[in-house]
Amino acid sequence: MNLGCLYGVGLGPGDPDLVTIKAVRVLESAPVVAFFAKTGRQGNARTIAERWISATARELPLHYPVTTEIPVSDPAYNQMLRDFYEGATGMLAAELAAGRDVALLAEGDPLFYGSFMHLYVRLRERFPVTIVPGVTGMAGCWAAAGETMTWGDDIMTILPGTLPQDALVDRLRNTDAAVIMKVGRNFAKVRRALQDSGHYERAIYVERGTMSGEKVMKLSEKLDDSAPYFAIVLVAGQGRRP
Amino acid sequence: MNLGCLYGVGLGPGDPDLVTIKAVRVLESAPVVAFFAKTGRQGNARTIAERWISATARELPLHYPVTTEIPVSDPAYNQMLRDFYEGATGMLAAELAAGRDVALLAEGDPLFYGSFMHLYVRLRERFPVTIVPGVTGMAGCWAAAGETMTWGDDIMTILPGTLPQDALVDRLRNTDAAVIMKVGRNFAKVRRALQDSGHYERAIYVERGTMSGEKVMKLSEKLDDSAPYFAIVLVAGQGRRP
């Protein structure tokens, strides 16, 4: 029997029109569509893909056992996630072994901070895989902000807000452009790191970029320190420009 | 009279199917389609957009006066480019002022190392602008290579190969994942920087990612030092993974 193909389908930053033609073709033809979601939620990826999924597709939701209820440093978190990814791998492997293609949805790009990768590395030796790259969440945010991110020979550094403050300051001092991801609970620390590294005045805060409820403002004009997990801070480069 | 809108249309890494739905809609309806190209060439952006441009659109090619014939450090280069961008700005402004929308094509993403930005910063105060973000060239390359670029709290650094070797080594030592752009003439230096920073064995070389003639190989298995300008080297992160 022929094996099914695993498609890692990048869905872009949130606006369903920022899905690629290739992703639409996969979604229209895949007999099985799998996606990650919080228990009780549909999940962002499934929401973006809504209008493109075939009416005859079988949906396979993969519900995270935990998201932010347990700190990631807790060994129990790691064990639960490992069990979850192993279980999801088994479910997808059964479909693929039966010859059915599976489209596994990924917000943004599948190979850039995505849950997709946890199943991909477990399945790629056994089954054919096609990666459909997507517009990253950060590119959606800088488009929403209209920020010219990198010019000429600019260096760009992408930093998770989870890093210690000293590490953030050090990396920010050694780059021309920066994107700080996972701002959420790290907001106050991220703000201090930008102040200490001299980038504060040109930092831009973006929430829900390209989606309804989008917010774009100068970080210095955002007075409170509360932000959703996926909020992003941008520092645009200022390199060579004739 | 109403002003026309300038659309910065990201076209993705090269495969025409990696254009977004939103980009296709703009290309199908824009009365004027402008694009950068080397003199005598159609240019990559125009090639990617080929099948999506309206048959009734007027095309406005913007031919670079120089590309690699003069070093970028030469003041004459800067002056020629400035004159060119000013001229192109004038041409687009005339269309926009006459009420016609203009789609200005951009390979990859418009705000990430793109020529689009040189016109955008000159026009955005006078005319409405919509940015259509695109799949970056680097995301096309890492999809082609199947490289899992960033996990968990990984830092990613994007480096132009034009940087001095010491700067490359320093930045490579302080990152988890890296993308080195503009490899071309800088190939031998990039290779040495990866050797000196300890990333050489996992570096991947990608040429023409997602396009015909695509090449993907371990950098250590590429024996010669010749590469096109747009070749990319990838170093994948190895962060937290349950």
Please report the pLDDT score of residue A128 as a whole number.
Answer: 98
Instruction: Name the token pair of B179.
Output: 């993308």
A20 and B21 within 8 Å at the Cβ level: the answer is: yes
Tell me the helices (H) and strands (E) count for chain B, helix number first: 7, 10
A133 and B142 within 8 Å at the Cβ level: the answer is: yes
Surface of A (109-148) touching B: CB under 8 A: 109-113, 117-118, 120-121, 124, 129, 131-136, 139-140, 142-144, 146-148
Q: Is the pLDDT of residue A225 over 80?
A: yes
Tell me the helices (H) and strands (E) count for chain A, helix number first: 7, 10
A140 and B133 within 8 Å at the Cβ level: the answer is: yes
Task: For residue range B168-225, list pLDDT tens digits in order.
Answer: 999 999 999 999 999 999 999 999 999 999 999 999 999 999 999 999 999 999 999 8
Q: Is the pLDDT of residue A69 over 80?
A: no
Surface of B (30-69) touching A: CB under 8 A: none
Which chain A residue's Cα is nearest to B10? A135
Please report the pLDDT score of residue A242 as a whole number.
Answer: 74
B20 and A12 within 8 Å at the Cβ level: the answer is: yes
Of B112, B132, B242, the CB nearest to A149: B112
Q: Is the pLDDT of residue B72 over 80?
A: no
Q: How far is B55 from chain A (nearest CA, A)?
A: 20
**Of the candidates B84, B45, B83, B82, the residue with the CA atom closest to the CA atom of residue B64:** B84
Q: How far apart are CA B7 and CA B26, in angstroms?
A: 8
B113 and A25 within 8 Å at the Cβ level: the answer is: no
Please report the pLDDT score of residue A78 as a whole number.
Answer: 85
Least confident of A18-22, A182-186, B104-108, B155-159: A182-186
B17 and A10 within 8 Å at the Cβ level: the answer is: no
A148 and B241 within 8 Å at the Cβ level: the answer is: no
Least confident of A20-34, A199-213, B60-74: B60-74
B24 touches chain A (CB under 8 A): yes
Q: Express as a percent the part of chain B with pLDDT over 90.
A: 85
Q: How far is B127 from chain A (nearest CA, A)?
A: 13
B187 touches chain A (CB under 8 A): no
Q: How far apart are CA A218 and CA A206, in angstroms?
A: 9
Quick one: pLDDT band at residue A222, thresholds 50, 70, 90?
A: very high
- For residue A58, the Cα-to-chain-centroid distance in whole angstroms is 24
Q: Is B190 left (phi over 0), alpha (psi -120 to 50) or beta?
A: alpha
| Long-range contacts, stretch B212-219, CB < 8 angstroms, 24+ apart | B214/B144, B216/B144, B216/B145, B219/B191, B219/B194
Instruction: Name the token pair of B223.
Output: 């024996």
Please report the pLDDT score of residue B187 as a whole number.
Answer: 96
Instruction: Name the token pair of A22.
Output: 């290739």
Taking residues A162-169, what's their average pLDDT?
A: 96
ipTM, interface predicted TM-score of the complex: 0.95
Instruction: Name the token pair of A190.
Output: 């991220």
Q: State whether residue B135 is helix, strand or coil.
A: coil
Please report the pLDDT score of residue B41 as a whole number.
Answer: 87
Please report the pLDDT score of residue A230 as a whole number.
Answer: 84
Please report the pLDDT score of residue B42 as a whole number.
Answer: 87
- Give every strand in the sheet of B102-106, ordered side by side: B58-64, B32-38, B102-106, B6-10, B129-132
Task: Using an 8 Å CB-CB cutoff, list chain B residues near A24.
Answer: 21
Of A18, A121, A142, the CB nearest to B22: A18
Task: For residue range B24-69, list pLDDT tens digits in order.
Answer: 999 999 999 999 998 888 889 999 999 999 999 999 999 988 766 7
Instruction: Name the token pair of A202.
Output: 């040109």
Q: How far apart are CA A73 and CA A150, in angstroms?
A: 34
How many degrees, rounded to 5, is the angle at CA B97 between CA B94 and CA B100? 90
Q: Is-above-0.90 flag for pTM?
A: yes
